[in-house]
Amino acid sequence: MSNTSGTTKKQKLAPVRVFLRIRPTVEQDGPSAITYLTPKEICVKGHSKTYSFDQIFDEKTAQNKVYKTVVGSIIADVVKGYNCTVFAYGQTGTGKTYTILGGDTLNSKDEKFNKDEDTDAGIILRASKHLYDELDKIDSSVQYTVTVSFMEIYNEEIRDLLSDKEILPLRIYEDKTKCVRVKNLQEVTVLNIWDILNLLKKGCEKRQMASTLMNNRSSRSHTVFTINVSTIQTISVAGNISNIICGKLSLIDLAGSENIAKSGSKDQRAREASNINQSLLTLGRVIKALVENSSHVPYRESKLTRILQDSLGGKTKTAIIATISPGMSSLDETLNTLDYAFSARHVTNCPTINLRTSATAAAVHEEVMRLKRDLFATA
Ligand code: ADP
Ligand code: MG
């Protein structure tokens, strides 16, 4: 598959993993719309198509099972220097926030989480805990730093959920290594899981405040929580040569997908007027272009897709959790989500470790090469 990351055939291709989670039934759902065929396949009543996924989590599946299956194996990869992304996609009210951020209020987390009793905890806290368990295992000669950032994309504006200063809107740029970054986004150094919990609470409060001021805002915004891990390993003390490895885990709670389905029926002018979710629309187009192997992938047409550029058709290990309601009353939305998620299974990435030797190491290497050249020249 052609993509913008310059991958070669020799590198190992990895398809995006796609999971389906069905939330527990509530009264408004109506009769069940889902027929479970196997742990990886379902069909929808009245429709002949079979949808298959890497795994299907039924209504009774607990948070820790979802965590272990989707994220469990990639925490070690983050420490090894891979970028990993997990995002939740689906209609509002189907469990995206429950899956990524967790249920219950974050304020009650400290006590319960400490005792491993927090059955509602979402992927962010489980991954943070797991990460520190992994970091405890690494050799004491390896130094590590963990930082966290938390942002919201609303109406094509990026907002820092951890900053006390309001700089709006934050801008996206490409660094020297062609990596897409957000300018002035706070990256806060954390020492343990409790630091991460406090930042998560702070960001959620900031998001909540904006949300109460504006109806429906939270279902129309995307949040991106990123944990960056860098490790420095000294290879040669005498030569001052170190390997620097930087991995990151991005956990993304997307806006409700009903926004794009509704907007699809409106003409262009109505779309502009109603300010529909440009990012979510473009996400669909990016996936389509990648699946169809198009020469142009429209990453640049929205903030979200620029931020996800490396996660779709790039060097990241990516998993999508599509969430649906089990009932007939959401049938149209459910079919949209299933089609979308099913097609995303054909997107392929080429995961690569972010490794570089330190500047000092590079200088030493240069010097050795120069001396060798001089030696051979005079010999
Ligand atoms: P979304 O973020 O997709 O709009 P939410 O995560 O807010 O949806 O979920 C809607 C409601 O359903 C919340 O009250 C949430 O706690 C509950 N819920 C969603 N999924 C589950 C689940 N798997 N188990 C228990 N409750 C759930
Ligand atoms: Mg939500």
| Cα 104 to averaged position of ligand 1 atoms, centre (Å) | 10
User: Which carries the bigger pLDDT value, residue 243 or residue 359?
Assistant: 243
- 145-178 pLDDT, tens digit each: 999 999 999 989 999 999 998 777 899 999 888 8
Q: Which atom of ligand 1 is nearest to the CA of 219?
A: 4
Nearest CA, atom 20, ligand 1 = 95
Task: Kindly identify the ligand whose nearest atom is closest to the C-alpha of 93.
Answer: 1
Question: Which of 20, 21, 22, 23 has the most ligand 1 atoms within 8 A of CB, as the residue to mutate?
Answer: 23
Pocket lining for ligand 1, CB < 6 angstroms? 23-24, 90, 92-98, 103, 219, 256, 323
| Cα 343 to averaged position of ligand 2 atoms, centre (Å) | 23
User: Which carries the bigger pLDDT value, residue 122 or residue 241?
Assistant: 122
pLDDT(287) > 80: yes
Which of 85, 11, 15 shows the shortest CA–CA distance to 348? 15
CB atoms within 10 A of CB 114: 11
Q: What is the pLDDT of residue 270?
A: 46
| Cα 91 to averaged position of ligand 1 atoms, centre (Å) | 11
| Cα 40 to averaged position of ligand 1 atoms, centre (Å) | 22
Percent of the chain with pLDDT over 70: 83
- 199-215 pLDDT, tens digit each: 999 999 998 877 777 66
Nearest CA, atom 17, ligand 1 = 95
Q: Which atom of ligand 1 is nearest to the CA of 104?
A: 16
Question: Which of 58, 98, 218, 277 has the most ligand 1 atoms within 8 A of CB, as the residue to mutate?
Answer: 98
Residue 67 and residue 83 in contact, taking contact as beta carbons nearer than 8 Å: no
Give buried/exposed letters for 213-231 (b at 16+ CB in 10 A, else e). eeeebbbbbbbbbbbbbbb
Alpha helices by DSSP H, listed for 22-138, are 63-70, 75-80, 96-100, 109-114, 123-137
- 31-49 pLDDT, tens digit each: 999 999 999 999 999 999 9
- 316-348 pLDDT, tens digit each: 999 999 999 999 999 999 999 999 999 999 999
Beta bridge partners of 151: 160, 224
pLDDT(367) > 90: no
Our CA dihedral for 97, 188, 352, 77, rounded to 10 degrees, sits at -70
Q: Which atom of ligand 1 is nearest to the CA of 101?
A: 6
| Cα 153 to averaged position of ligand 1 atoms, centre (Å) | 21
Q: What is the pLDDT of residue 265?
A: 46
Task: Kindly identify the ligand whose nearest atom is closest to the C-alpha of 218.
Answer: 2
* Whole-prediction pTM: 0.89
Which position has the token pair 């740029």?
Answer: 173
Q: Answer yes or no: is the ipTM higher than 0.90.
A: yes
